[in-house]
Structure 1
Amino acid sequence: MTTDSSTDHPANHLLKTGVPGLDDVLGGGFAPGRLYLAEGIPGSGKTTIAMQFLMEGVRSGERVLYVTLSETEEELQGVAVSHGWNLKGIEIRELLPSTDVLSPDEQYTIFHPSEVELGETTLRILADVDRVNPTRVVFDSLSELRLLAGNSLRYRRQILALKQFFAGRNCAVLLLDDMTANEHDLQVQSIAHAVIRLEQNHPGFGVSRRRLVVLKYRGQAFRGGYHDYKIVRGGFVVFPRLVAAEHRDTLVPTNLPSGIEALDAMMGGGMDGGTSTLLLGAPGTGKSSLAMQYALACARRGDCAALFIFDESVATLRSRAEGMGMPISTYIDSGHIRVRQVDPSELSPGELVHEIRQAVTEHQVKVVVIDSLNGYLNAMPDERFLIVQLHELLTFLGQSGVATILIGAQHGIMGLQMSAAVDASYLADTVVLLRHFEKGGEVLQAISVMKKRIGRHERSIRSFSMSAQGIAVGPPLRELRGVFTGIPVDMGGLDGGSETSLGS
């Protein structure tokens, strides 16, 4: 949270913006009687925010005014139709040059056009304000006023005059700036009570990434930093940056068994609520299946689990689980297991974290699975910040009492040179390693708990297998040495032992 002053505006006196998530970022909304600036390049969503701001005023029974200097009312109505909105109750005032200005008789010869047109425009604006007496006003856009002013001094004095005029009327004014001036000045930023900047990034592949930042907000605590947003049918949606320190709860220790006796013995009884577990291994070692086992056990207890999958479709997940005797479809249909297929090229990191947060706060999930960290890395526009954001997410989930399962796929199949694209082992409370190894002309799997911060755990390496009957964890591989090298040495003959599983 960031603040410019200790004189925060009372939350019940702030005007709601009508934009989901934006009030959270602003610490409640806009204070009445102040002047605000939303700036961004064309297409960043300024007009959409402005319309939602005014429609929220109409819903509250307020009088609102939209002053447009660059778009016609017909164009604004077209924007509204695209979102399924009705602009009834919004007074729209067009201040556009008429076609008469194209006539040679209308060209100014003694005075500079700005000296005449700025004065005329200002008088028309003030007359409309006197007539409507609004509590919310939008100016779209400042580029026109800047050009009419002619120079920076006159432009600044004009904005100051407007600020004083509206302050006396207890009217909140939102100015839109499309930043099309040759040199972006800070005149309005220094005058405005708060400044919101909208930014767009166009990656080499995938949808454009959008984010906003509150540059200033006088006398009001707000959530600093960048916040992802998107524009969909229905309007502008903001995904506030997650701050784990704001979600501290008193946790009751819980134990979450998997339903497989040998696996729970390795884990010291099972996973603990409020901790994170990293399942690390090569492709095909059973990481996703093991995560599904914990989600299925959670659903059987009557709780809810959430799976965020990057590397396979929901249909493939259902088919694979059913083939292993896991009735996951039944619990997906009942809502006890929630599956979200994530497309890294379409979903921003902020939106993904927002969905995970919603799953915890709205659906009270007890187990969250992120499959996999490699896909999560691809969703990040800048991988340098992956670990920082992941740390914040895991802290939030831990403080909420959620058991988090992270799946990390390693490069390679066998050998000692295995490596992961993302090293999150130091963040996780528990690390479970799964590996392939060769024996008797077959490729088998092994499992071991390498680390557990809370409680005891086995240090043995056990056999691990998957079949139509589900997951099976066998006895410790005590007769083999060098299992994790991929080619172990038989130290006396492996009798195999009977693999144990509690079934479904």
Structure 2
Amino acid sequence: MRLSAPEEPRHESRPQHLPARERHRAVHAPPEFVYERVPSIDDGTERGAPVTEDDAAPVSTGLVGLDHILDGGYAARRSHLIEGRPGSGKTTLAMQFLLEGAKRGEGCLYITLSESRRELLNVAERHGWSLDGIEICELVAPELSLDPNLQQTLVHTSDLELGETVRMAIAEIERAKPDRVVFDSLSEIRLLSQGSLRYRRQVHALRSFLLIQNITALLLDDLAAEEDDLNLHSLSHAVIRLEQLAPLYGGERRRLRVIKMRGTPFRGGYHDYIIRRGGLTVFPRLVAAEHLGTFPDAQCGTGSAELDQLLGGGLDRGTSTMLIGPSGVGKSTVALTSVTAAIARGEKALMLSFDETTSVLRKRASGLSMPIDDAVASGALQVEQIDPAEVSPGELADIVQNAVEHRGVTLVVIDSLTGYHNAMPEENYLLLQMHELLTYLNQQGVITLLVLAQHGMIGAMSTSVDLTYLSDTILLFRAFEAEGRLRRAISVVKKRTGSHEDTIRELRIDSQGIRVGEPLSAFRGVMTGVPTFEGERSSLLRTRGA
């Protein structure tokens, strides 16, 4: 079956000697697509025989993350609907699709009704792309043109303009014979159709033509309607929606969702993506169940023998430890001590710093006799300064996953969960995201340290979100007063993987790092948030050299 559109005579050449009624009918007669039966090609396959070759095998989208979501890419020789509001990145995504095809030596055609050729070239230049190998066809619907020679000279009719626009697009495709086509956009077709029935007919005709021509196509739509166009969804082999969210503060958050993909498994749900120089980068939603791993059971030291003793031997591989307490009690310093101990063992570590800059972290480490400059320079330590207003949760998960799988990181520090929470749109999202991330890290044998600050300094304390149940081990930090000095206490509240001390020890921080004292038997009230010390002065840690 071949789809073709008959040539329409120029409007000026329509017979003017006809009666007015017949002349009006001649002008208003909508152009119809003609289906001509052509001889079928005998490929030796019997009628009704099962299909032995998949003619819709996946083809790369040009985006690694989107290929992963779609289980390989777009379906070959099928039409895909890409919908989203203006500014969501449809044009950029479509260009990357064609660039991938050009790289593979395929014929690529970009048909545009919404943007000019010059605008598309400017977009490509800003991303550092060359559009060599991609043909751009700029169509201007006669109804939308300001050129009087292209407009109706007798009677305006949307049917005639609509048919001529689609016919021009089909003629360009027949001329170029491409393997990949982008049609940008269906919004102009909807504008000309002035009715859902005519719009659906033209889109169906265009889709059928592309299918017969064995073309892999992207049809872009601006989502001009307030509600989903379910009719358009039913005509498309796949539907991908791009969304752009504007928070009250910070940059835009972008995410995509695959609404449908016929006959192909895909990863559902929302997936974050960003647009930077070089195009779209998609971060597939992390699914821990897809990353099962094996690793030997082992305990790793924290850098303090007394703290290891408090923990029942150290930190277990494949577990997460939460360091919880008010601000200023030493949580980040204890985490940094574990990082330097891991680097000394020849391991690699990742620190996600939400609360302090990289320069401040380096100064603090040097002041505690734990310099990290050499470790950062050698690649043993990766420090990522995270701005929650600019970085999406999906990008955070991608940073962690790349560090573990590509750099061999065995220790991850998130400092702090309070900053991580600010990167999430809502609390439930944080819980689900953190559960998936911790499960993934545990299955990879990674030790995870989570720093969580509590509200308040003295007295009853609380956190903005309860994540303690997600952690395998909980280290509780508190401040107390003795002899007119502010001191720190540390204890282990929970450890799933083994026994631990149930004592409370003093924690001391000075220019040489941390020290953990002997159990404080006369220390009581730590769980109330107002711990008190009633013992002898000799049981407290003294200043080094005193």
Instruction: Name the TM tier (shorter chain).
Output: over 0.9
Identity level (%): 51
Residue in 2 that maps onto 1:327: 371
How many Å apart are 1:185 and its aligned residue?
Answer: 2.4
Kept in 2, the 8 Å contact 1:268–1:455? The answer is yes
Question: Deviations along 1:368-402, whole A, 9 cap, x unmatched?
Answer: 00000110110111222111111011000000110
How many Å apart are 1:132 and its aligned residue?
Answer: 1.3
Q: How many residues were matched structurally?
A: 492
Kept in 2, the 8 Å contact 1:11–1:28? The answer is no
2:524 maps to 1:478: no
Residue in 1 that maps onto 2:482: 439
Alignment gaps of 5+ in structure 1: 1-6
2:350 maps to 1:306: yes
**Tell me, what secondary structure is at the counterpart of 1:434?**
strand
Q: 1:53 to 1:100 in 2, by over 3 A?
A: closer
**Tell me, what secondary structure is at the counterpart of 2:369?**
coil
How many Å apart are 1:148 and its aligned residue?
Answer: 2.1
Q: Which of the numbers 204, 211, 221 marks the counterpart of 2:265?
A: 221
Show the 5 A alignment for 1:272-351: 272-351=316-395
How many Å apart are 1:111 and its aligned residue?
Answer: 4.8
Residue in 2 that maps onto 1:423: 466
2:154 maps to 1:126: no
Give the partner amino acid of 2:388: P
Kept in 1, the 8 Å contact 2:55–2:76? The answer is no
Residue in 2 that maps onto 1:399: 443
How many Å apart are 1:130 and its aligned residue?
Answer: 1.6
**Tell me, what secondary structure is at the counterpart of 2:322?**
strand
2:126 maps to 1:82: yes
Kept in 2, the 8 Å contact 1:472–1:499? The answer is no
TM-score (normalizing by structure 1): 0.93
Kept in 2, the 8 Å contact 1:256–1:272? The answer is yes
CA distance in 2, matches of 1:124, 1:215: 30
2:506 maps to 1:451: no
Q: Which of the numbers 353, 360, 374 marks the counterpart of 2:397?
A: 353
Kept in 2, the 8 Å contact 1:449–1:459? The answer is yes
Residue in 2 that maps onto 1:3: none
CA distance in 1, matches of 2:55, 2:334: 46
Q: 1:97 to 1:483 in 2, by over 3 A?
A: closer
**Tell me, what secondary structure is at the counterpart of 2:490?**
strand
Residue in 1 that maps onto 2:221: 177
CA distance in 2, matches of 1:243, 1:117: 49
Give the partner amino acid of 2:173: V
Residue in 1 that maps onto 2:9: none
How many Å apart are 1:422 and its aligned residue?
Answer: 2.1
How many Å apart are 1:479 and its aligned residue?
Answer: 2.5
Q: 1:353 to 1:106 in 2, by over 3 A?
A: closer
Give the partner amino acid of 2:498: G
Question: Deviations along 1:378-435, whole A, 9 cap, x unmatched?
Answer: 01112221111110110000001101000010111122x1112221111100000011
Residue in 1 that maps onto 2:183: 139
CA distance in 2, matches of 1:428, 1:356: 18
Q: 1:500 to 1:274 in 2, by over 3 A?
A: farther
How many Å apart are 1:149 and its aligned residue?
Answer: 2.4
Residue in 2 that maps onto 1:187: 231
- State the structure with bigger RCO (CA 8 A, min sep 6), 1 or 2: 1
Residue in 2 that maps onto 1:210: 254
Kept in 2, the 8 Å contact 1:27–1:221? The answer is yes
CA distance in 2, matches of 1:419, 1:497: 28
TM-score (normalizing by structure 2): 0.86
Residue in 2 that maps onto 1:495: 538
How many Å apart are 1:106 and its aligned residue?
Answer: 6.0
2:238 maps to 1:167: no
How many Å apart are 1:114 and its aligned residue?
Answer: 1.9
Residue in 1 that maps onto 2:61: 17
Question: Deviations along 1:116-173, whole A, 9 cap, x unmatched?
Answer: 2222222222221122111110000001111222321121121121222111222111
Give the partner amino acid of 1:326: M
Q: RMSD of the TM alignment (CA)?
A: 2.1
Give the partner amino acid of 1:430: T
Residue in 1 that maps onto 2:194: 150
CA distance in 1, matches of 2:178, 2:238: 20
